[in-house]
Structure 1
Amino acid sequence: MKKVTSLSLSMAAAITVFATNGIAKENLIDSFKNGKISGEIKSVYSHSNFLENKKSDNITTLGGSLSYETDSFYNFKLGATFQTSHVLDDENNNNVFASDLDGSGSVLSEFYLDYKISNTTIKAGRQFIYTPLVSSAIDGKASERLTKDSFQAYLITNEDVPDTVLTAGYIDKYQAQAYDGDIGSFEDFEDGAYTIYAKNNSIENLILQAQYLKVNANDNSNDRDNIYFQADYTMGAHTFSAQYLASTDKSRISKEEDGEVYGLKASGPLGIWKLGYIVSFNSSTEDGDVDLGAGTGTTDTLFTAMPVNGGGVPARADADTLVGGIIIPIEQITSVIYIGESRKDKDEDLLGDVKAGGIMAMYSYNKNLSLKVIHEHVKTEHPLDEDTDVTRVYLSFKF
């Protein structure tokens, strides 16, 4: 850890040394002048009557992000992303939104130094990460909110092997989306985590992914391990996928430490007008619930993750989950109608069998301005055969 930190400090020192040279100074100025600015102004409204609570939760938030990355300077780049969130209206009767939308404030979620030499890139500092087992919130997925969660991490990515990307990293801090009414701040991520990720597309029409994650808990008896495999094969306009995720969580009782889940998915056009389809299936073993990894984006990793409620239900032990959807594009509006069911032994689970369905409509006025509305209905077998309705509305302007 100290070596990695020293390396990032050495990079910063190198930039300072280059800047003392007259010619380099002008190039450094140019690297800032030619840097790229991007951002988003965003508003999110959500409503939930979680498990038929008599009083519903409603929340309206406004905020966004502003990102800047310099142009390359001696193969170095400096980047930063500032996020802000403000709760305009809040009826958080049941604390449904306490960990994601119910947080006001601002945070510097990204502040990284990126160095590239040949086919190797080193990225150190605060950053968003998107891999199956370590992931920030993903736009367009269940994990999307007003703000993203972030990691303080040190990643090395190499592409020397043809058609292969290899990434190894260490994570020491984590910023949640919201906590105790405030926007998330960077806190120690347990006692650190290590991960290695590989992606290969050397075989025509086939993409393979594999990842390992080791989380060192503050208490060694609570350590967690995850391993993940995914294969995506494209045949014409159709894509067929398979996944496997195994986890060990030592904080659980011994017979429930291990969990496994398998998945299959198919998607493509129906051949009728412009309609598309997606069908996915996950099956978990009888041992323990499956740990999905680090970051809210991992709730979208399982193929049967629902657009609102994510993949928590299919991650339960001894559950079979099937989800299907029809994609309907009409001019600038794309709609998705979907249904799903997760079957579970009612004597061993608080929810029992879970049925869900919903509709999602996405409207793009242009490449910058978009509106998305999602309504999802969930019916649980337990407790007392109760229902949940959740509505989300996203209004976004990107620049």
Structure 2
Amino acid sequence: MNKKLCLSIVISLICMPKSFASDAIVDAINEAKVSGEIKSLYFSQDFSDSSGKQTSSIWTNGGEFKLVSGDFHGFSLSSSLQVVDVTWRDDVDDAYKTSMSADGAVLSEAYLSYDFSNANTRVHLGRRYLAMPLLGGSSAQSVTESYEAYLITDRSLPQTVIVAGKIDRYQARTDFKSTTPFTQAKADAKGKPGEFLDIGEYGMYSLYMSNTSIANTNVQVHLVETQGIAFMGYADMFYQFDTRFKPYIGGQYYKTVYHDNTLGQDSDMLGLKLGVELIDNLDLFTGYNKTNDNGKVLHGLGNNAYANFTTTTKTSGDTGFEAGSNSLQLGVAYQIDSVKVKYRWTNFNPLDEEGGMTEHTLNLSYQFESLKQVSAMMDYSVMTFDNDARSMTDLRTKLIYRF
């Protein structure tokens, strides 16, 4: 966080009338809220006989502890500490080296917020989680990715949200993870949670907007500029028909402009999605993505920055961003009481025929009725590659207690 800005805030607080400031501080402390979760995760991967790889599995336990202060004349402080213990690991081929094998703790959120008196504008300064199409940290594994950001959020316009600012650093799941071309892995990585690493030489500039002012329509636009690396653009629009089966149609567009030709050739990707609700809580949907033949499109920074209409659980549909890729997904989702089920069949056909694959994804979740704070999840994926040596299965189980 900017040291001059922090110093100015501290001086302002100190200079307040003593009784006025102390009473407000006490109120902010008394209104503080504690929350978090404790989770146990077991992941396993099984590879085809011709791959030369051995079955890998890992069991981690840990959690996250959040503290959010009360309001202090528009200011508030938020923090989140993540703790992970790699309880058991059988991973000769290091299949989980960059994703799950993170033994230790990291302060992933530590930011100051200020709400302007109009209640429509908020400033965030510091480490925090983000959830936008091109900047999104995933919480699906041991460690949730985070960002060091300086953002302003405005809701002054009717049914419109605008988020603008700069993102300087990024925290991956483990310190072995490289997010080239944005960040590099640490040379002295030891299998700990990811540290906050600089994004390029100058950081990222981000502008996000969403709007729902048109009836039954939702529009998103996200622009990210990383000097010396690339410009990334994203836009989508969804329209839901006001008829019996609640059909909807969505379109999306990705654009990547590389500032360094050695990193890739400029490219773009189009997407189309359709869906209907046949009966209550039974949804059918299909998605299609087509990437330009010129080069690979960048999906963004973070494992939850996959807004593509052919996203999956294991690979996130990353193959769909490769040059010339055609991706098709067919899916069904159903919820009955406390059980949610989703199945997706996804086929990827990039220019590189060796990378073609079909991915089957089954997601199950159960919310315990007697223990409302406890949930269990299972994800199972089967990946069949045109190059059989890469074919594999992926199992993920999760037990989570939220408080």
State TM-score, norm by structure 2: 0.89
Instruction: Determine which of 9, 12, 19 is the counterpart of 1:11.
Output: 9
2:260 is aligned with 1:261: no
Please, which runs of 5 or more residues in structure 1 have no aligned partner? none
1:43 paired to 2:49: no
Distance 1:361 1:47 in 2: 16
Matches within 5 A, 1:270-349: 270-271=278-279, 274-298=281-305, 300-345=306-351, 348-349=352-353
Task: Describe how 1:67-216 pairs up with structure 2 within 5 A.
Answer: 67-117=66-116, 118=118, 119-137=120-138, 139=139, 144-179=140-175, 180=189, 181-191=191-201, 192-216=203-227
Q: 1:274 deviation in Å?
A: 4.1
**For 1:8 and 1:290, how far apart are their aligned partners in 2?**
38
Aligned residue in 2 for 1:249:
258
Task: Tell me if structure 2 keeps the 8 A contact 1:201–1:208.
Answer: yes
Contact 2:28/2:69, CA 8 A, preserved across alignment:
yes
Tell me how far apart the structure 2 counterparts of residues 163 and 335 of structure 1 sit (CA, whole Å): 32
For 1:7 and 1:165, locate their aligned partners in 2 and report how far apart those are by CA, in whole Å. Answer: 25
CA separation of 1:28 and 1:183: change in aligned 2, threshold 3 A: same
Q: Within 5 Å, which residues of 2 pair with 1:344-363?
A: 344-345=350-351, 348-351=352-355, 353-363=356-366
Give the letter for the 1:71 counterpart.
Answer: G
The residue number in structure 2 matching 1:238 is 247
Residues of 2 paired with 1:11 and 1:322: CA distance?
Answer: 52
Deviation at 1:386, TM superposition (A): 4.1
The Cα offsets for residues 332-388 of structure 1, whole Å up to 9 and x where unpaired, read as: 21111221111233xx3541x211113211111043110100110011112x46411
Question: In structure 1, how many angstroms separate the alpha carbons of the residues matched to 2:14 and 2:47?
Answer: 54
Q: 1:251 to 1:50 in 2, by over 3 A?
A: farther
Q: Once superposed, which parts of structure 1, at least 4 consecutive aligned residues long, lie more than 6 Å away?
A: none
In the alignment, what sits opposite 1:379? 384
Q: Hey, what does 1:227 align to over in structure 2?
A: 233
- Distance verdict in 2 for CA 1:5–1:264, change over 3 Å: farther
Instruction: Work out the CA distance in 2 between the residues paired with 1:11 and 1:158.
Output: 21
- Gap regions ≥5 residues in structure 2: 176-188
Q: Determine if the alignment matches structure 1 residue 32 to structure 2 residue 29.
A: yes
Matched to 2:27, the amino acid is D
Structure 1 position 50, deviation (Å)? 4.5
Q: Could you report, residue by residue, the CA deviation over 1:303-326 in whole angstroms, capped at 9, with x for unpaired residues?
A: 111122203111111011111111
Instruction: Give, in whole Å, the separation in 2 of the partners of 1:207 and 1:8.
Output: 37
> In the alignment, what sits opposite 1:365?
368
Q: Taking structure 1 as reference, are residues 57 and 12 closer, same or farther at Cα in structure 2, changes over 3 Å only?
A: farther
Distance 1:12 1:37 in 2: 24
1:12-47 Cα shifts (integer Å, max 9, x gaps): 4433434x6213211211111111111000111111
TM-score (norm 1): 0.90
Larger CA deviation: 45-54 vs 312-321:
45-54
1:155 and 1:331, CA in 2 relative to 1: closer, same or farther beyond 3 A?
Answer: same
Helix, strand or coil: the match of 1:22? helix
Q: For the Cα contact (< 8 Å) 1:379–1:385, is it kept in 2?
A: no
Asked whether the equivalents of residues 8 and 113 of structure 1 are also in contact (C-alpha less than 8 Å), the reply is: no
Aligned counterparts of 2:377 and 2:346: Cα–Cα separation in 1? 21
Give the secondary-structure state (helix, strand or coil) at the position aligned to 1:145. Answer: coil
Q: CA deviation at 1:157?
A: 1.4
C-alpha separation in 2, matches of 1:196 and 1:54: 43
Query: Which amino acid is the alignment partner of residue 114 of structure 2?
Result: Y
Alignment coverage as a number of residue pairs? 379
Q: Given residue 123 of structure 2, which amino acid in structure 1 is its aligned partner?
A: I
Percent identity over the alignment?
25
Q: 2:396 aligns with which of 367, 392, 397?
A: 392
> What's the C-alpha RMSD, in Å, of the aligned pairs?
1.9
